[in-house]
Amino acid sequence: NAGVTQTPKFRVLKTGQSMTLLCAQDMNHEYMYWYRQDPGMGLRLIHYSVGEGTTAKGEVPDGYNVSRLKKQNFLLGLESAAPSQTSVYFCASSSVAVAKNIQYFGAGTRLSVL
Amino acid sequence: DQQVKQNSPSLSVQEGRISILNCDYTNSMFDYFLWYKKYPAEGPTFLISISSIKDKNEDGRFTVFLNKSAKHLSLHIVPSQPGDSAVYFCAASGWGSQGNLIFGKGTKLSVKP
């Protein structure tokens, strides 16, 4: 059971570089989320999507963009990376039919911006 | 301002004893609460949840208690096992929030053999 898969697992960027983090889920979930976790902090919501073709801002959206072209994929983009975006990024998904509040998480992407 | 607070960054418990993890919230619109468990280098894993219409939910060794008047919930683990050693996050969501969760900062539980 793959569940929620995030790629890549690790990445080092230089300030100003761009990159895209990919999240894929095979559970046919409608909702998908991107969070970041910083040391000593809880997870904070960056962006989320309630369905294919729709996205919305979360608590900390600045500096990030997202796209949900297919139901199973949710992409997080950093157009011009900054050291403040060094963090661990988690993707999650949930089902409206079962319990939309219960989110299932990927293993995370550790990003360092130098 | 934190809407979900876990005031104890860490907790150490002896194997076989009870572990009690606490969580406070400030937003009275929250109507669903969850506990997640996280091991190092892994994503959070759902553990147990409770709706605001209940005051207790049990699943095996794990029980969550909700005190709405005090805006407080707690997770009880009985008996505690070394494999329970992890960071535990409390999370909350409100009606109409489209499933968005607000997380606490987490409590690191260490269960000593």
- The least confident of A32-41, A101-110, B25-34, B94-103 is B94-103
CA–CA gap between residue B113 and residue B102 (Å, rounded): 33
- Distance between CA atoms of A24 and A101, rounded to whole angstroms? 19
Chain B hits for A94, CB-CB cut-off 8 Å, are 99
B41, A48: Cβ pair inside 8 Å? no
Q: Nearest CA to B77 among B51, B56, B58?
A: B58
Q: Give the per-residue pLDDT at A41.
A: 85
Mean pLDDT of chain B: 94
Q: Please tell me the predicted confidence (pLDDT) of residue B104.
A: 96
Query: How much is the average pLDDT of A68-90?
Result: 96
Q: Do B34 and A43 touch (CB under 8 A)?
A: no
Is B111 touching A (CB cutoff 8 A)?
no
Question: Which residues of chain B are within 8 Å of residue A107 when distances are taken between CB atoms?
Answer: 41-43
Asked if residues B106 and B88 have their Cβ atoms less than 8 Å apart, the reply is yes
- Among residues A69, A66, A59, A64, which one has the least CA distance to residue A79? A64
Residue A1, pLDDT score: 65
pLDDT attached to residue B36: 97
Look at residue B96 and tell me whether its pLDDT is greater than 70: no
